[in-house]
Each structure stands twice: as C-alpha cells, then as structure tokens.
Amino acid sequence: MSGKGADEKWTRSGRCRGETRGPISGKMITLRLLCGNGPGQSQENHPPGGRGIAPAGSVLHKRLKEKGWMSDLIAPHGGTLKDRMVDPETRGTLRGQLVDWPSWDLTARQLCDLEMLLTGAFSPLEGFMGKADYERVRDEMRLADGTVWPMPVTLDVTEAFADALSSGDRVVLRNPEGVPLAVLEVSDVWRPDRVAEAKAVFGSDDRAHAGVNYLLNRAHPVYVGGRLTGLDLPAHHDFNHLRHTPGELRAMCAERGWRRVVAFQTRNPMHRAHQELTLRAARQVEANLLIQPVVGMTRPGDIDHYTRVRCYEHLLETYPEQTTALSLLPLAMRMGGPREALWHALIRKNYGCTHFIVGRDHAGPGKNSDGEDFYGPYEAQELVRRYQDEIGIEMVPFQMMVYVEERGQYVPVDETHETDTVLSISGTEFRRRLREGVDVPAWFSYPRVVEELRRTHPPRHRQGFTVFFTGLSGAGKSTLANALRVKLLEMGGRAVTLLDGDIVRKHLSSELGFSREHRDLNIRRIGFVASEITKNGGAAICAPIAPYRQTRREVREMVEEAGGGMIEVYVSTPLAVCEQRDRKGLYAKARAGEIKGFTGIDDPYEPPEDPELEIDTAQCSVDEACQRILLKLEALGFVR
C-alpha cells in the first residue's frame, strides 16, 4: 500500500483519512483504499469538486476492478457509466476560459438534471438531449441509437438567450448563486411542440398533471442540446453521509459483496406497510435492499425531504443489520406514471441495482380535471414488465399492502380472505390525523416516525395560511382584506400580515409597469412573501387584482410547498358595480383610451375555476363577508 500504509478512505471532502469510518444508511461501513495516495501526496486521483467516496477512475475503483469485484456488478445502462466530471488540471484550464462564454443560470429542475447527468445516473446520456434523441424518446421511448430511454431530459431556455447560440458554441451552466458547474457544447437549438410532448410523454395536456403544468406553464420555449463537461457538482449541505453518486454506490456494493440489490423508490414518508413490502421484496428475490428516496423535486405539496429523511433514518433501525442501505437520489420527478417507472428502473440500474420494486400507481400525479386518475393502478408495472428483459433489470411487482387484524400483519391485498378484518388508512386520512392531532394506530406506523412528522407538521390550527383575494379593481378586495386582518388580530394566536396590491406596488414593485410580464412578476413577489410568512406560522392576507389563472396557480404552489394552506377568495363583484365605485376615475380613463391594458376593459380578467370562496360585495356587507371567510378557515382547521 502506498503512502503512509495507513488504513484509508475517500471522504466527501476529497481527502484521505486514516482509520475513518462513515455511516452509509445508518449502518457503519469503511470503504478502504486498496492502493492510494497517502496524506500530503498527489491529489490526482481525488474526486473532482471535492466530493465522493470512490469515484469512477479512482484508485479504489481500479483495484476493485483488478480483483474482479466490479465486473460482478450489473453493467450500467448502455454498458458504461458516463461520469462527466473532469480532472483538476482540465478543470483549471476551463475555468480560465469561462469569462469568454455565455452563461445560463439553472432552474431548480435543471440543477437536479445536471447532477444526474454529471455523475452518470442518466447513463448513457452525456449531456442534455439533442433534437434527434428528444424526438425519438418522445415518440418511441428510445434514443436515436435505439437504446431504451422513456423520458426527455432537455435544457429549456428563453428565446432571447437561444437567439444568440449556434452549434459548436460553449455555454457555462451556473447555479442560482452564479457558481459555474459545467460547460455545455451546443449541438442543437430548437423550439419543441410542448403540447405534443405533453400528450406523448404524459398521455395528456391536462394542466392538473404536475408534469404537464410544468412543461406548458413553467418551462422555457426553446431547447438546447449538447455534451457536458463537469466542473463541480451542485453543493449540498444536508445529509451528506447519505448522498452517493452511482460510482460510490457501486463501490459500496462491490466492497460489501452485494451482487443482487433490489431498490425501492419513494417520495413519501415510509410506514409499516412500506417496511413489510420492502422486506418481502428483498426476501422474494434474495437480494440486499436499497431504499433510495427522491430528494430533488417531487410533487407540489409533498412533505419536505428534510422531514422525510429523518423519518427514513428512524425506520432503518427496524431492518436487519448489514442487509439494507439508505441513499438519497437528487432526481427531479416528472410524475410521469408508467414512463417514469421505466425511467426509475434504468436509473437504479446505473446505481448498481439488479431489481426494482414497482408498486401500485408508481409516480402517479393524482387525478385529472374530471376527477379521474391519469393512469391505471398497475399500468406502470405493465410497461416495466414489457421492457425488463431488454433493459436488464428485473421488476418486483407489488400490490397495495393492507393490515389483517386476525393475523397481526401486513399482506398484499390479493392475499386477503373474505373473512379477514382488513384495516387500512389512506394518505388523506393519515394527513387528517396529523392535521387534527388525532392518534395514529401503532399498526399503521412507528411511534418515532409519527413523532417526527408531528414535530415538523403541527396541527392545522398551528400552521400558517394565506388568504388570497382576487377580483377586479373596485370589487372590494382591499376593504375585505383590512377587515379580515382586524378580525384575525382580535382573535389572536398568530402574526397577521396584509399584502395589499397598492402597498406592494409602492414598497416591493415600484419599478414595475403594467405589462403582462410585469403584472405576473408582481404577483409572484407577493406569492413569495406570502409563502415565507406562511412557512413561519403567520397569516398572510393578499389583495391584488391578479388577473391571470396561471400566476395565481404558481402562488398556490409556492404557499403549499412552504407547508401552509392557501384560501383563494374570488371577489366577484360585477364590472358595472366596480365602475360605479371608482373614486379615482380609472375605469373612465380606460374607456376613453387614456389608460391602456386596464383589467376588465381592454385586458382580460380570468375568473378562478375552483376558489375556496366566492363573494359578491354588492350582495353582502363587509361583516357578513368576513364571517364567511372565518367560517371557511374554521372548517379547514386553521382557526378555532
């Protein structure tokens, strides 16, 4: 052994430490260098960007390969793990050239995709898809060379940015703080048909689907494809002991002697049913178990990953020692149902897994605008089964698990008998119990998991909320908002903040005009401030005109992702009444053509489709309207 001859290990800081042991999934494991550089010696084999236990190409990987351990693992999809990180010397050379190239600040989803691409988790992709790969994936679930791949992975940019790009250009990809993470060598620039993409990939253009809504309402209109060169991986400051690249997990499997590994995907807290399901799956295929929850982007409204990971760590204590691992996946989910399930299987293959659990309604986005499920409950299983021989990872299908009282255990629903007393609690019912402080039975979950969830998700009456008034100018929004503020302060119990449209325009958005773009930006600012107030347990009362449905939807997503409730109040006072009340004469000026783009006159107001309340102030007094709002808040559990 080179260097000091000490027992050494790759640490996430990129240094070697003698006799260092680090937890992987709550179990202690040492990844020792079979041959490597001692302290103070050359760093040429250390992981780029200062991360990694044993990156591809490191000394550990080379020695594992020499002993034949790595060759026993399942091959990555496409045959080779496409790690796109460069060595320190190349990285230093590139950094000196970055100032000459255009740069793009990555969105949250693009940041997740970039990390998956740079580490090889999306192998065989070497960058964001070009047009040929994109079109065949969209239409046939295959890359241009015929390799199975079900989900587009594209870099969407604005038209203004795309207009300055040509094939062969290099673009610096930066995180939101401006740190350069990668260089993209442009191969294609094109404007996709995003509606056609939604229908092909998600089977629908219904915006009630989270993936469709993102694609049609949040993604930029132009795609840029090209090969990536990685400079640094995105920085994470949470749960670093549970974050592993595909190369790191493969090294772990090789060092532990894990040749058969079954992976379990989740974006929700795990309870007793999940524990039983995963144990059964591992026993059924005689494999070690990898619990790999998504901690990138999931479905809006999901429990935050910080809380979930603490719950997973508690749950891990219930599994047999040395057979189970926990590792976090920085994936941005698309909620694509069957296609997403196949995608998840391929990703787990790249991490070294031989089997993948697919349960009921895998990666389902919920119900469509007609109240029906987007996908059948076992449609995902059917698609993965169709391709499993070709892709080389075996599916382990499972039905819904239910608790049989007489047996005192969980079983698949198809193994129950008519005489059995079957107990189950839906996700909706579980959330209600958390929200209202109702006991959760021991057969459903583990006390430490429930305690953790209660700690970060208190009962509704202790949570923050946002009341969002919307309506025409003069409809009575500000009057109602001020009155509601006073009523809530009179009741006490939480801080109350009023974000009136005129006040926000004066203090937060004084530089904005009244174009659609500026109106949307103003409402997003209000939504951001409201979400921060809500996250910290306060009550935010917003009273802008907010004429556009999509922007109001974005505000709802911000508030709900912050862990609070959103109560949309449509103040539907008729236009004629609003004009009569107009003390500033704005409507008269708009009709005379002196004011352009005035909502309700020459710019449309899009009424809410499903508000929590609708109030016509021409038909009720301010006190009556406030009472209706308070009753709604009480019914939802936010006030007592």
Q: Contact, 56 vs 120, CB < 8 A?
A: yes
> Of 20, 240, 268, 479, which residue is the catalytic one?
268
Task: Tell me the C-alpha distance between 270 and 619, whole Å.
Answer: 49
- Which uninterrupted H or E stretch holds 349? helix 337-350
Find the DSSP H helices in 351-405: 379-391
- The least confident of 138-147, 330-339, 575-584 is 575-584
Percent of all residues in the chain with a pLDDT value above 90, rounded to a whole number: 74
Q: Are 40 and 2 in contact (CB under 8 A)?
A: no
pLDDT of 414 above 60: yes
pLDDT score at 60: 52
Which of 599, 597, 603 is CA-nearest to residue 477?
599
337 φ, ψ to 5°? 55, -125
Q: What is the mean pLDDT of residues 392-407?
A: 92
522 is catalytic: no
Select which of 138, 267, 348, 494 is catalytic: 267
Q: Where are the domains of the chain?
A: 8-72, 88-230, 255-329+335-456, 460-635
Q: Is there a shared CATH topology between the 88-230 domain and the 255-329+335-456 domain?
A: no
Q: What is the pLDDT of residues 171-185, one digit of tens each?
A: 999 999 999 999 999
- What per-residue confidence (pLDDT) applies to 301? 78
Give me the catalytic one of 119, 154, 229, 266.
266
Contact assessment for residue 530 and residue 555, using Cβ atoms and an 8 Å cutoff: yes
Q: Residue 419 contacts by C-beta under 8 Å, 6 or more apart in sequence? A: none
DSSP structural state of residue 215: I
Q: What is the pTM of this model?
A: 0.79
User: What Cα–Cα distance (Å) separates residue 50 from each residue in 9, 61, 153, 239, 337?
Assistant: 14, 17, 26, 16, 36
Pick the CATH number of 88-230 from 3.40.50.300, 1.20.1600.10, 3.90.226.10, 3.10.400.10: 3.10.400.10
The average pLDDT across 165-175 equals 96
pLDDT of 9 over the 80 cut:
no
What CATH number belongs to 255-329+335-456? 3.40.50.620
**Number of Cβ atoms within 10 Å of the Cβ of 218:** 13
Mean pLDDT of 306-333: 94
* C-alpha to C-alpha distances, 583 to 580, 586, 618, nearest whole angstrom: 8, 8, 16
Domain 460-635 in CATH 2.40.160.60: no
**CA neighbor of 128 nearest in space, from 171, 88, 163:** 171
Report whether pLDDT(25) > 50.
no
Provide the β-strand partners of residue 288.
261
Is 435 an active-site residue?
Answer: no
Mean of all residue pLDDT scores within the chain: 88
The residue ranking higher by pLDDT, 276 or 14, is 276
Q: Within its chain, how far is the Cα of 304 from the centroid?
A: 9
| Whether the predicted pLDDT of 152 surpasses 90 | yes
pLDDT for 59 equals: 53
- Provide the 3-class DSSP secondary structure of residue 396: strand
Q: Give yes or no: 536 in active site.
A: no
Q: What percent of the chain has pLDDT over 70?
A: 89
Burial 571-587 (b: 16+ CB within 10 A, else e): bbbebebbbebeeeebb
Q: Which band of pLDDT confidence, cut at 50, 70 and 90, is reported for residue 547?
A: very high
DSSP state of 57: T
Look at residue 399 in the predicted model and tell me its pLDDT: 80
* Distance from C-alpha of 399 to C-alpha of 377, rounded to nearest angstrom: 9
Q: 212-260 pLDDT, tens per residue?
A: 999 999 999 999 999 999 999 999 999 999 999 999 999 999 999 999 9
Task: Please name which of 435, 15, 57 lies closest in space to residue 230, comparing C-alpha atoms.
Answer: 57
Residue 36 burial (CB count, 10 A):
23
pLDDT tens digits, one per residue of 34-82: 222 332 333 333 333 333 344 445 555 555 555 555 568 999 999 999 9
